Structure 1
Amino acid sequence: MSDQALNSEKEKLLADVRSVLSNTEELLANAGEEGGTKAQELRGKLSANLKLAKERLLDAEKLAAAKAKAAAKATDHYVHENPWKSIGIAAAVAFLLGLLVSRR
């Protein structure tokens, strides 16, 4: 998956979570105003919205973990296939970081 597609998925997920939380806050505000059976209905909807939010967050966590594992495997494979190139890249990055830190 490309970075652009990943960012798009992340933005979509965040929008979904914001929407669920907004709806939940609205229901909670309404639940405080109403009594009796109406309050019970609102509490039921609130509970369902919170459950949905938790499920979506767990899905996002699983997706992020899967992508991190895939990236780690790809990096591990590349380093094993190109050890000297990897050492050279690491040395160059360390050198550049050393230059940047020493200037401050």
Structure 2
Amino acid sequence: MSETTGLSSVNKDKLVSDLRVVVSDADEILRASASLAGEKVSELRERIQDRLRDAKLRLADAEAVLVDGTKAAARATDDYVHENPWKAVGIAGGVGLLLGIIIGRR
């Protein structure tokens, strides 16, 4: 997995987390404004509910894509390790050695 893929995965996780917070806050605002009366408020609540419903659907889609991507990466890694066990051991050993050197210098 490349560094850009790792970073985009972190960004996707952050985006999904942020969207969850926004959806939760919007739900809370809608519940709090339920007692307000008036035509404008009613129209605004309906628009917010529609957009919130759409956001929830997009959030579910984004989570599904993120989970599928993670599973695909895990499968690819597993396949690679099974096909090339000694290379995988060598790479893991090299990464461990580099980390040991870096940590040892601090």
Question: TM-score normalised by the shorter chain: which range applies?
Answer: 0.5 to 0.7
Divergent runs of 4+, >2 A:
none
Distance 1:97 1:73 in 2: 25
The two structures have a TM-score, normalised by structure 2, of 0.66
Count of paired positions: 84
Distance 1:58 1:48 in 2: 16
CA drift at 1:37: 1.9
The amino acid that maps onto 2:55 is: A
Ranked by relative contact order (alpha carbons within 8 Å, sequence separation 6 or more), the top structure is: 2
The two structures have a TM-score, normalised by structure 1, of 0.67
Q: Which residue of 2 aligns with 1:48?
A: 50
The amino acid that maps onto 1:71 is: A
Distance 2:103 2:71 in 1: 31
1:81 to 74, 80, 83: 83
SS in structure 1 of the partner of residue 67 of structure 2: helix
Identity rate of aligned residues, in percent? 46
Distance 2:65 2:87 in 1: 30
CA drift at 1:38: 2.0
Q: Which residue of 2 aligns with 1:59?
A: 61
Structure 2: give runs of 5+ residues left out of the alignment.
none
Question: What does residue range 29-40 of structure 1 map to in structure 2 within 5 Å?
Answer: 35-40=37-42
Q: Which residue of 2 aligns with 1:94?
A: 96
Q: Which residue of 2 aligns with 1:103?
A: 105
Report the RMSD for the aligned CA atoms in angstroms: 2.9
